[in-house]
Amino acid sequence: MDLGLKGKVAIVGGASMGIGLGIANQLAHEGADLVIFARRLPKLEQAAAEIVRKYDVRVLPVAADIRDKDDSVRIVQAAIDAFGRLDILVNNDGAPPLGAIDSFDDVAWQKAIEQNLFSVIRMVRSALPHLTAAGGGSILNISAISAIQPIAGFALSVATWAGVIGYAKTLSIEIARHGINVNTICPGYIDTDRLQKVFASGTESPEAVRAKLITEIPLGRIGSTADIANLVALLVSPAGSYITGCTIPVDGGLLRALR
């Protein structure tokens, strides 16, 4: 199925590895040109070169720290300077540290807010005029299943990503008239470096933790980055343009709630 993304321009955050890299690859496979950003330039440049080799699209790597308020403007401007337009914004980054709620001071909370919530607000603020000028587009946020089914030890992520969900829902209502859809994906256990940290964070062996988590998932497996990227490609494409304001778990059935 051709999703109609050929010639579209997408910004993808955290794209040097993990879910972000998986999304960048899938959008490139569909023909989109990319601006990919992350903090570490060598890995980012390596990722960009590999995407170009595989899919023959244009890819611009931009080293940036999403917690820096000026970098959001710089990332978006890089896309406009390089490609002349912007159609898709994928807000994705790493996650704050794990730990008990009472172990985090104001500095830790402020860093988490900057990383997870303010980064989305600032990227949208920078991108929105260009998405509107393009005649429509898509904004897609990556959070986590813990934002809608909290997990002990994930307080920094839960609180800040819950804010993203509220922000995104409100945003979807306000900008729908411009032909821009806004959705948030909440991945479950996805096979990334972040998950490896979860495996190693307790007293049990990583192998034991992994086996235990798999028993909690009705589909009986850890997810892949492709499981996330395939849905992203649909939601940001013309084929998914009528889907907006949604918070969608991609978790193998892990979420137990009805909604």
Pairing between β-strand 246-250 and β-strand 180-187 as defined by DSSP bridges: parallel
Decide if pLDDT at 117 tops 80: yes
pLDDT of residue 146: 93
What's 102's domain CATH number?
3.40.50.720
The CA distance from 222 to 80, in Å, is: 37
Using alpha carbons only, how large is the chain's radius of gyration in Å?
18
Residue 66 lies in a domain: yes
Residue 20 lies in a domain: yes
Residue 209 lies in a domain: no
Residue 198 lies in a domain: no
Q: Say how many domains are in the chain.
A: 1
pLDDT of residue 159: 97
The CA distance from 18 to 242, in Å, is: 28
Decide if pLDDT at 216 tops 80: yes
- Whether 252 and 224 have beta carbons less than 8 Å apart is answered as no
The continuous run of DSSP H or E covering 149 comes out as none
The CA distance from 189 to 44, in Å, is: 24
DSSP assignment string, 73-106: HHHHHHHHHHHS---EEEE----PPPB-GGG--H
What value, to the nearest 5°, has the Cα angle with vertex 65 and ends 140 and 155? 65
- What residues make up the domain containing 176? 9-190+225-250
Residue 60: HSE in the Cβ half-sphere, 13 Å Cα cutoff: 18
Residue 101 lies in a domain: yes
Residue 213 lies in a domain: no
Average pLDDT on 64-84 reads 96
Residue 200 lies in a domain: no
Average pLDDT on 102-111 reads 97
Average pLDDT on 89-116 reads 95
pLDDT of residue 252: 96
- List, for residues 29-61, the tens digit of each pLDDT value: 999 999 999 999 999 999 999 999 999 999 999
Residue 83 lies in a domain: yes
Q: pTM of the full predicted structure?
A: 0.94
